[in-house]
Structure 1
């Protein structure tokens, strides 16, 4: 097991994960990050906001940045086609 930290960066600043989680590997950490992003966005969407400009940084136990996942990467985005003006 490895220890991972999930730091959120958005329009209000950085929310550092001070506890982290033990997970089996990087793939499991990425899956947890995706779930976390989707949870954040679902709460905001319920209030009428869809802001995909944030990101989630995954760091290891030494604080080394492993990967950054943009909020937009956690979704397949489909928009209606609009007629040309």
Structure 2
């Protein structure tokens, strides 16, 4: 198990994850970030807003950023002309 941290960046306003969670690997961390992003987006939509440029940066226990999940990549958007 490794500890992963999920930092939220919403248009330059950063919410740091100081606790992190233990997961088996980076693939599991990606899946966790995807689930979190969709949950945040659902909450934001309920309140009449949505920022598709918001992202979750996944970091390891040493503080290295491993990758980021941009919210627009967490959903399939259709019906836009």
User: What is the TM-score when the length of structure 2 is the normalising length?
Assistant: 0.93
* Cα distance in structure 2, aligned partners of 1:12 and 1:48: 20
* Cα distance in structure 2, aligned partners of 1:80 and 1:55: 21
Shift of 1:11: 2.8
Equivalent residues, number: 81
Shift of 1:12: 6.0
* Cα distance in structure 1, aligned partners of 2:41 and 2:5: 19
Unaligned runs of 5+ in 1: none
Shift of 1:43: 0.4
Shift of 1:78: 1.0
User: What is the TM-score when the length of structure 1 is the normalising length?
Assistant: 0.89
Unaligned runs of 5+ in 2: none
